[in-house]
Chain A
Amino acid sequence: MAKLLGIDVGSTTVKACVMDERGEILYSSYVRHFSRVKECVLAELEKIRPLSARFQVCVTGSAGLGLAQRGDLPFVQEVQAAYGAIKKLYPDADAAVELGGEDAKIIFVTGGAEQRMNGSCAGGTGAFIDQMATLLNLTVDEMDELSLQAEKIYPIASRCGVFAKSDIQPLLNQGAKKSDIAASIFQAVVDQTVSGLAQGRRIKGKVLFLGGPLHFLKGLRRAFQKTLGLDDEHAIFPENGPCFMSVGAALHAATEKEEELDAIAARISSASAGENIAVGKPLFSSQQEYSDFIGRHMRSDLQFENILKYEGDAYLGIDSGSTTTKLMLITPDNKILYSSYQTNNGQPLDIVTNKLREIYYLAGNRVIIRGACVTGYGEDMMKAALKLDFGIVETMAHFKAALHFNPDVDFIIDIGGQDIKCFKVKNRAIDSIMLNEACSSGCGSFIQTFAKAMGMEIEPFSRLGLFAKHPVELGSRCTVFMNSSVKQAQKEGATIEDISAGLSASIVKNAIYKVIRARTSDELGKHIVVQGGTFLNDAVLRSFELEMGREVIRPAIAGLMGAFGAALYAKENTAADKLISAMVTEAELQNFRYTSKSVTCGGCTSKCSVNILTFADGRRFISGNKCERGAGMKPAANPLDLYRYKYEALLSLPRPMNAPRARVGLPLQLLMYEQLPLWTGFFETCGFEVVLSDRSSRELYFRGQHTVASDTACYPAKLMHGHIESLLDKGVDFIFYPCESYNLDEHDSVNHFNCPVVAYYPELLKANNERLTDDNLVMPYIDPNSEKTTVKALCRALKRYRLSASLVKRAFREGMRRMEAYHVAVVEEGKRVVAEAEREGKQVVILAGRPYHVDPEINHGVNKLLTSLGLAVLSEDAVFEEGNLVKVNVLNQWTYHARLYRAAEYATRHKNINLVQLVSFGCGIDAITTDEVRAILEGCGKLYTQIKIDEINNLGVVKIRLRSMLAAIEEQSRR
């Protein structure tokens, strides 16, 4: 009698299940395939040989799709397979959640069957968890163990692994507990599943949890149970959870024809590789070429000096990076006395103190450290903890180091574990800086994570690529996409060597085309210095040279350039009369202890997660705060900050009203940040009381998250859902948000559209929030430029209140008057800020974005960061009218964007005024404006700085960018 065989080939694992005719499971397995799909499946077939000679087989899974096609085997889609199995094995289940390697699925069984899979942009999967574990330098099991001891959950962006990383890294660097982070990661996965997949549909009743991660990870299970409010009776974790899809496939196989096991095996092993896989050229065509390459790069090196013999001065540089910590001790003539490069393991401070002990020990009394300088993510903490003399922004450190190797350097690219930094150099000063961001984030750690997933160390893995014959083309957008590209390549039969080489190439392409956005190699420069740990990887270096068509300099200390630059800085800046560094002494180090505690700052509504390090000598270091308050200081009474001014002015607009006609709720988001004065004026004149939605916050976002329909919309749009919930909870009579294809015509552009999201978001809200009806959401289509049609539309929309046309007209005019008054006030305040800044000799930054960027939850306190760095902050709408009209190269047809161009033009004519563009992640229109704003600024010798913001609640990277900008401005003005 033939047995039933189900094979589930996923992105990372193979699951097999053999069942007899009565449905009893005779065999089941769950093994990682490390990309050797065919071999792995064949090995499984060998294992089941004793069970039967004949099988009815069915294949499922994302990687199984290709295998089935090429091997001509029956295939069932995996969600469908699971659905069948659930109905058969758990007939009383209401829903199921399945997390796989790279897919997440929800199946609703009762109350309208529905099956859903994650979209293309999704973080909450097994691969995501693996990636996060690598980041914490833990195995997944260890991370799971730790998570059970958590005391605190940090908000971590769950949509994208890259966002999550940028949330986690600073937490690690601030010394947050790994246990808390581990639990927070699991919570992020749960949030992603609940919001991204369920989208408003509640997961309730008896819920099955399937797939490897949900089977093996107790912490994840607990987080799911807690979030969904399921007791043990309603949360089912089946014994065969990890291989559940293969069980489903086996059940499905019952309708397939019987076959000899050998015949099945033969078909699988003869499954041909596909032809449509894109391949590139090999990195090296011969061993000789490789040797020449190595020889050439050996020439860029520093000399060493024996620390055990050396007597005299020395300078210390520390680069406290996001994943690694680097130290270097140099002599006054730039010889290396000591260097170290080590992975953080999440405890950078411990590493540095250990290394310093070692240095003191090796140095004896012969070496005098006269100056010490720190750079990198952990700069502030290290400087405070170890009393270091200097701290510099990392871009400056890298620049200093590169100058040493080539005084003519005109382009520096640094690819580290987590980030890519590039800068152009003009006249020996940094001219423009480019850093990678979410969708262009493929960096060094990606190769590392990948090597681990393949069961290898990074070095041998990347070396495999050097002589690969057909490196695969993997695309260059985002690591999640790269993962699926690799999956595709595997499906097509690419070897591990080809994949390794392909990964190196994709990181390089990502850097050149996505981060630098170069069109030709000449754009970059003639003297290129490459650095960062990732460039120590010869495959990456070679890919870079090939892609650029140009030889570059890679110093042998490529991984230590930050530390070297910091040491050089210390050397150059230590005063001649300062004989010894102020840093902790050997004796102090003996008793160096610290404790770390994280608390929520109650200073303002931002509710920053603040980390407090307390040292043995009673000193404290506070990090994670966005403003002075968190550090226990008082902010200035009347800061030069237009963002704060605007936000407070808007919040104070609605007036309380006696016996109103009705209460109207205005969601303070998107368009309402511009038109709140108009609509408060309008409704108050009509006798309505205006109620504002709660202030934006992450909690508010979570309140509405379940109604978000499109994951990839911008954060301001997604926050809107929370604002609606808050208004509904306040019991207003109706919510008002107009649909406006056209914004006000400010007579400076070809057309004056709103972006599609701002214009029509109410349609999406109404369609996806069951609490909204035609009655409680009033969303007339209006064009505020046309009073006549607007009045008509408003009368119609508010018909039930029987407002006379003349009242509506009067009210609309009053609204327009108030909007004009608000605008004038903003312009006046802008003038005050500019004048005041000039008096105080301060630099001014126009934080140019959209009206809704004044929302502190959206800008994450960038304005406060700027004022704390000693800058005055303007908004684009305060100054654009001072700017000339600009004819740009693109179609200038959106009101808000036209303002950007004019604000930039204004900045070019003022020496102490700079522009920083705020861009919401996912804003498709800014893909067009950014290049244009950059061109306007750079055409006049101004720096262009762009800050991308999303739900990521961390300013670490932003700070680096802004400080680099300041350093460059200083450098410019010094010349």
Chain B
Amino acid sequence: MSTATQKKTVDLTEQYAKFPDERRGEYTILVPDMLPWHFELLIYAVGRRGYHMEMLQNHGRQVIDEGLKHVHNDTCFPALCIIGQYLDALKSGKYDPDKTAVLITQSGGGCRASNYVPLIRKALKAEFPQVPVLSLNLAGLERGNGIKLDLSLLLDIAYGIFYGDLIMTCFNQTAPYEAHTGDSVAARDRCMAALKATIDRKKFHKWKRNAQFILQTFAAVSTTGEKKIKVGIVGEIYVKYSPLGNSDLEKFLLSEGCEPVVPALMDFMLYCIVNNLNDAKLYGRHRTRALFLRIVYAYLRRRQKKLIALMKKQGRFEPMHEIEHLRKCADKVLNQGVKMGEGWLIPAEMAALCETGTENIVCTQPFGCLPNHIAGKGAVRTVKKLYPEANIVPVDYDPSATRVNQENRIKLMLAQAREKQE
């Protein structure tokens, strides 16, 4: 069906600002705060290569309003939050627009989230055309307009994610139970400072020592030993993690006397790699790339396994899920071929959470999220069939959805959880 080859090409692309990598030091690169602690570490690590990054922390209505103004009504909520943060920041006068860039990650999948880079460019066009949009992706998109990825940076990112996940996991398992208010936050701060110091001393990759330090620091926090309801958070990657996206869901759960259980970011990274491996296996796609990725996958998996072993040995904390286990969990619910957006990872995490005693789950999704129709809401029924104790509430996030409505639905789920507990 392809007569396309003889056709000429009409180029309708508009010029956009490119990032002058050779003058990187002059620029401030803005980063959204999807995962505040992970990103702080990563920014610090990347910063050593001359990229001056800053994580945005502007929240509130004016951010959402900026997003609403600049993003199509039907575009998903995460795009709106991120673009709102960028524009609100650029308008604040804190940054010189001529020396500012913004950074976004792209997965390159069949979900419209891969289109965030053009969407951000469109939004910036009217008022800040000089601000370059940098892409961080492994799919080969936006060549020449991203952060240069070399092996050492990739390793830094991988370790940053591992440590971030570990801190997040330990913190979530400590904070609800701490005997003295503020101890967990202090422990987290200590870990962050120590990790940054290891970056300075080039000891960032001494993962065993670093991980053990994190575990010990959190284990030293004295706790009350009371029993709390554990609530898992799964769903679309941005609203699952971002406090701006999910109306501070973790904090809300803490205030309700629950322990939030948030699956690790590394799961998502490995999920993306697995999808490439599956593409090669199912459809014979990009076999060479798959060969390389298989090595990466094996490496990360080994690290993950050892980290989990370390956590088990330490004994205090419930470890994260292992990717191969997640894949098995996914297979019980749907095919791993469902790979757009967060795809099979969502039901996999739901199942894995149910198996580890976290049957109460908030499934977060942006209003009208396409992959979530299938893998989120669409899969809940199967998960409940497999795990009759599962108590799952899907919650839509949207610029106009009010906290009252979201919290009321979560409260219903919590009421059911409490009843079961009694």
A878-912 toward B: CB 8 Å interface, digit per residue (1/0)?
00010111111111011000000000010000000
A260 at the interface (CB under 8 A from B): no
Number of B positions contacting A (CB below 8 A): 87
- The chain A residue with its CB closest to the CB of B68 is A513
B402 contacts A754, C-beta separation under 8 Å: no
**Knowing A709-B378, A710-B378, A931-B122 touch, does A764 contact B68 (C-beta < 8 A)?**
no
Residues of B within 8 A of A888 (CB): 12-13
Does chain A have a CB within 8 A of B416? yes
B283 touches A891 (CB 8 A): no
Q: Which residues of B contact A837 (CB under 8 A)?
A: none
CA distance A185 to B381 in the complex (A): 30
CB contacts (< 8 Å) of B339 on chain A: these are 741
Instruction: Check: A343 CB closer than 8 A to any chain B CB.
Output: no
- Cβ of A788 within 8 Å of any chain B Cβ, yes or no, is yes
Name the B residues within 8 Å of A890 (CB-CB).
Answer: 115, 118-119
Q: Is there an interface contact between B415 and A473, defined as CB atoms closer than 8 Å?
A: no
- Distance between Cα atoms of A248 and B49 in the complex (Å): 62
A697 to B416, CA, bound (A): 39
Chain A residues within 8 Å of B186, by CB: none
Q: Would you give the 0/1 interface string for A475-498, flagging 1 where the beta carbon is closer than 8 Å to chain B?
A: 111100110110110010000000
Interface centre among B375, B399, B404 (most CB of A within 10 A): B404
**Are B283 and A77 in contact, CB atoms less than 8 angstroms apart?**
no
Number of chain A residues close to chain B: CB under 8 A = 101
Confirm or deny: A744 has a beta carbon within 8 angstroms of a beta carbon on chain B.
yes
Q: Are A936 and B12 also in contact (CB < 8 A) when A80-B419, A891-B115, A924-B74 are?
A: yes
- Per the 8 Å Cβ criterion, residues 765-816 of A in contact with B are 767-768, 781-783, 785-786, 788-789, 793
A760 contact from B141, B374, B380, B409, Cβ within 8 A: B374
In the complex, the answer to whether A754 meets B110 with C-beta atoms within 8 Å is yes
Instruction: Kindly state the separation between the CA atoms of A199 and B118 in the bound complex, as whole angstroms.
Output: 37
> What are the residues of chain A within 8 A of B284 when measuring CB–CB?
783, 786, 788-789
Q: How far is the CA of A761 from the CA of B378 in the complex (A)?
A: 9
Q: Mark B401-422, 1 if CB is under 8 A from A, else 0.
A: 1111101110110111001000
Verify if B377 is at the interface (C-beta below 8 Å from A): yes
Query: Which of A491, A789, A881 meets B404, CB within 8 Å?
Result: A491
A23: Cβ under 8 A from any B Cβ: no
Residues B373 and A717 in contact, CB atoms below 8 Å apart: yes
Q: Which B1-51 residues sit within 8 Å CB-CB of chain A?
A: 1-5, 7-14
Contact assessment for A710 and B337 in the assembled complex, using a CB-CB cutoff below 8 Å: no
A756 touches B411 (CB 8 A): no
**Stretch from B204-212, B227-235, B362-370 forming part of the interface with A:** B362-370
Answer whether residue B371 sits at the interface, using C-beta atoms and an 8 A cutoff: yes
A514 within 8 A of B: yes
Contact of A927 among B1, B10, B61, B75 (CB under 8 A): B75
Interface membership of A301, Cβ < 8 A: no
Question: What total of A-B pairs shows CB separation below 8 Å?
Answer: 264
Q: Does the CB pair B2–A764 fall under 8 Å?
A: no
Q: In the complex, what residues of B have CB within 8 A of residue A712's CB?
A: 367-368, 373, 396
Q: List, in ascending order, chain B residues with CB within 8 A of A783's CB.
A: 282-285
Can you list, as one digit per residue, whether each of B66-88 has a CB less than 8 Å from chain A (1) or not (0)? 00111011111000000000000
How would residues 705 to 729 of chain A score, 1 for a CB under 8 Å from any chain B CB and 0 otherwise? 0000110110001000000000000
B8-A884 in contact (CB<8A): yes
CB within 8 Å for A709 and B398 given contacts A440-B73, A755-B110, A884-B8: no
Q: Are B282 and A756 closer than 8 Å at their CB atoms?
A: no
Binding stretch for chain B, among A40-48, A117-125, A232-240, A369-377: A117-125
Give the contacts of A491-525 with B (CB-CB under 8 A). 491, 509, 513-514, 517, 519-520
User: Is A953's beta carbon under 8 Å from chain B?
Assistant: no
- Chain B residue with the shortest CB-CB distance to A477: B400
Complexed CA–CA distance, A66 and B407 (Å): 11
- Per-residue interface assignment for chain B, residues 370 to 388, with 1 indicating a CB less than 8 Å from any chain A CB and 0 otherwise: 1111110111111000001
Given contacts A278-B61, A763-B374, whether A891 and B114 have CB atoms under 8 Å apart is yes
Which chain A residues lie closer than 8 Å to B168 at the CB level? none
Q: Check A887 against B10 for contact (C-beta < 8 Å).
A: yes
Min CB distance A115 to B, Å, is 6
B121 at the interface (CB under 8 A from A): yes
Is the beta-carbon distance between A476 and B400 smaller than 8 angstroms? yes
Q: A881 touching B3 by the CB < 8 A rule? A: yes
* Cross-chain contact A763 with B334 (CB below 8 angstroms): yes
User: Contact: B399 with A477, CB < 8 Å?
Assistant: yes
B190 within 8 Å of A (CB atoms): no
Find out whether the CB atom of B374 lies under 8 angstroms from the CB atom of A115: no
Stretch at the interface among A405-413, A660-668, A745-753: A745-753
Q: Which listed residue, A478, A748, A887, A924, touches B13 by the CB 8 Å rule? A: A887
| Most A C-beta atoms less than 10 A away, residue of B5, B112, B411 | B112
Q: Which residue of B lies closest to A819 (CB)?
A: B1
Check if A763 sits within 8 Å of B378, measured CB to CB. Answer: yes
Whether A905 lies near B401 (C-beta < 8 A) is: no
| A741-B373 CB under 8 A given contacts A120-B367, A485-B400 | no
A714–B145 CA distance with the chains assembled, in angstroms? 35
Judge whether A927 and B73 touch: CB under 8 Å: yes
Complex: how many Å from CA A754 to CA B284?
18
Residue contact B400 to A475, C-beta cutoff 8 Å: yes
Is B117 located at the chain interface by the 8 A CB criterion?
A: yes
Cross-chain contact A748 with B4 (CB below 8 angstroms): yes
**CB < 8 Å: which of A112, A481, A923 contacts B400?**
A481
* Residues on B with beta carbons closer than 8 Å to the beta carbon of A884: 7-10
Contacts A79-B412, A928-B115 known; A881 to B4 CB distance under 8 Å? yes
A525 to B122, CA, bound (A): 20
Asked whether, in the complex, the Cβ of A924 is within 8 Å of the Cβ of B285, the reply is no
Tell yes or no: A205 within 8 A of B by CB: no
The interface residues of chain A lying within 8 Å CB-to-CB of B119 are 890, 928
Pair A924/B283 contact, Cβ less than 8 Å = no
Interface residues in A35-82 by Cβ distance below 8 A to B read 62-63, 65-66, 76-80
Q: For the complex, is A687 an interface residue (Cβ under 8 Å from B)?
A: no
Cβ of A713 and Cβ of B335 under 8 Å apart?
A: no
Say which residue of A748, A754, A767 sits within 8 Å of B381 (CB atoms): A767
Q: Is A337 an interface residue when CB atoms closer than 8 A count as contact?
A: no
Q: Does B394 contact A (CB under 8 A)?
A: yes
> Looking at the complex, which one of A77, A119, A482, A761 makes contact with B396 (CB distance below 8 Å)?
A119
Nearest CB on A from B52, distance (A): 28
B8 near A513 with CB under 8 A, answer no
B126 at the A/B interface (Cβ < 8 Å)?
yes
A926 vs B76: C-alpha distance in the bound complex, in angstroms? 12
Q: Which of A424-472 contact B (CB under 8 A)?
A: 439-440
The answer for the CA separation of A121 and B401 in the assembled complex, in Å, is: 9
Instruction: Please determine whether B65 and A478 come into contact, CB atoms closer than 8 angstroms.
Output: no
In the complex, the answer to whether B112 meets A925 with C-beta atoms within 8 Å is yes
A616 to B8 Cα, complex, angstroms:
64
A618, CB-defined interface residue at 8 Å: no
Beyond A77-B412, A889-B118, 15 additional pairs, beta carbon < 8 A: A65-B404, A117-B409, A481-B398, A481-B402, A484-B400, A491-B404, A517-B73, A755-B370, A767-B378, A783-B284, A885-B8, A888-B13, A926-B74, A931-B122, A936-B12
The 9 closest A-B pairs by CB, nearest first: A753-B110, A475-B400, A783-B283, A764-B378, A481-B400, A927-B74, A278-B61, A781-B337, A80-B415
Using a CB–CB distance below 8 Å, which chain B residues touch chain A? 1-5, 7-14, 60-62, 65, 68-70, 72-76, 109-112, 114-115, 117-119, 121-122, 126-127, 141, 279, 282-285, 333-335, 337-341, 367-375, 377-382, 388, 394, 396, 398-405, 407-409, 411-412, 414-416, 419
A contacts, CB < 8 Å to B: 62-63, 65-66, 76-80, 103, 112, 115, 117, 119-121, 199-200, 278, 439-440, 473, 475-478, 481-482, 484-485, 487-488, 491, 509, 513-514, 517, 519-520, 709-710, 712-713, 717, 739, 741-742, 744-748, 750-751, 753-757, 759-761, 763-764, 767-768, 781-783, 785-786, 788-789, 793, 820, 823, 881, 883-891, 893-894, 905, 922-928, 930-931, 935-936, 939
Could you name 10 residue pairs across A and B whose Cβ atoms are closer than 8 Å? A78-B408, A519-B70, A741-B339, A751-B110, A757-B370, A763-B374, A767-B379, A767-B382, A789-B284, A887-B11
